[in-house]
A and B are shown apart, each in its own frame.
Chain A
Amino acid sequence: MRTGIVVFPGTWSDRDCAHALGDVLEEPCRFVDHRDRQLDDLDLVILPGGFSYGDYLRCGAIARFAPVMESVARFADRGGLVLGICNGFQVLQEARMLPGALLRNVSCEFRCEWVSLRVEQSASAFTAECRPGQVLRIPISHGEGNFYADPVTLERLESNGRVVFRYCAADGRVTDEANPNGSMANIAGIMNARGNVLGMMPHPERACEALLGSSDGLAIFRSAIRALQGVPA
């Protein structure tokens, strides 16, 4: 699986993604400059976390106009896998490649901590290595991760199985206490209708080695590798 990791000015998790894919999983990957348009050699494009262009106006508002984003949209239209993590999720929403928006955390605080995620959809290209209902330990690191969608959109996401991850307690129960940012229905990650674009606030690339607290994030990258090899889930 050849992965491209998009780097906007202000992106901060690109090196972590490269470490997870290149060093830990030993998969080929390269950085993609925000001005580049050529993604033809890639199977997976990651929009990593950070503060693209400083996010002064609104998270992801400027990044969606970057030259690379036109190519990312075409890449997704052709069925390529796109994973937006944290700021990358915000960028995908601003680009209207995923629905809804991410508001300021209800606490108005930046939250940087380990959370538990329940896998709600294990039949996706990004979660086929997970059991339904499996609880993953993955860290979050954001000030604007409070998922919002209008009622019609939310209902469509829920009924079509497009809610991929929910914040939960360690035992898998979805509770208000386990919701770190006020997200509607504890939503931590969603995918598009086709299932090839996933946006999630938690950082799987920072949970790829037991030494660093958890290797649960590997399941997401390994699922993508398996999906690209065409191995049935």
Chain B
Amino acid sequence: MIYRAAVFVTLKPVVNDPQGLTIHRGLRSLGFDSVQEVRSGKYLVLTLEEPDDRSARARVDEMAREVLANAVIEDYRVEVEAIGEPAASGELRA
């Protein structure tokens, strides 16, 4: 099965986020006064082939834990969905 996984990597709430703070200041200076906080992060979309939902989720979780996020400063969240059967050639069939 072909899966599409979304990995959201964000700085832990206690970690200072200079980019988020800068974007927050920018938004306020543009008149978006209601914004109380901005936290920046990474959004990664992975397409992968795995035998089933469980192995897809486990594999993406492993990648997020080992590589995509740094547990010292970051949290991550993973969403996985099946998007199709692999074609014989390995190409995704619509």
Residues of A within 8 A of B (CB): 57-58, 61-62, 65, 93-94, 99-101, 103-108, 146, 148-150, 182
Contacts and interface: CB of A to CB of B under 8 A. Distances in A.
Contacts of B21: 106
A100 B18 CA distance: 17
A221 B94 CA distance: 61
Contact of A61 (B11, B18, B70): B70
A58 B19 CA distance: 14
A182 B18 contact: yes
B55 interface: no
A150 B72 CA distance: 8
Contacts of B22: 108
B18 A58 contact: no
Interface residues of B, number: 13
Contacts of A148: 15-16, 72-73
B44 to A, nearest CB: 9
A103 B16 contact: yes
12 contacts: A61-B67, A61-B70, A93-B72, A101-B70, A103-B15, A103-B18, A104-B18, A105-B18, A106-B16, A106-B18, A108-B19, A148-B73
Contacts of B14: 150
Contacts of B67: 57, 61-62, 65
Contacts of B18: 103-108, 146, 182
Given A57-B67, A61-B67, A108-B22, A182 B72 contact: no
B70 A100 contact: no
Contacts of A106: 16, 18, 21
A57 B68 contact: yes
Given A93-B72, A108-B19, A148-B16, 10 more contacts: A57-B67, A61-B70, A94-B70, A103-B18, A103-B73, A104-B18, A107-B18, A146-B16, A148-B73, A182-B18
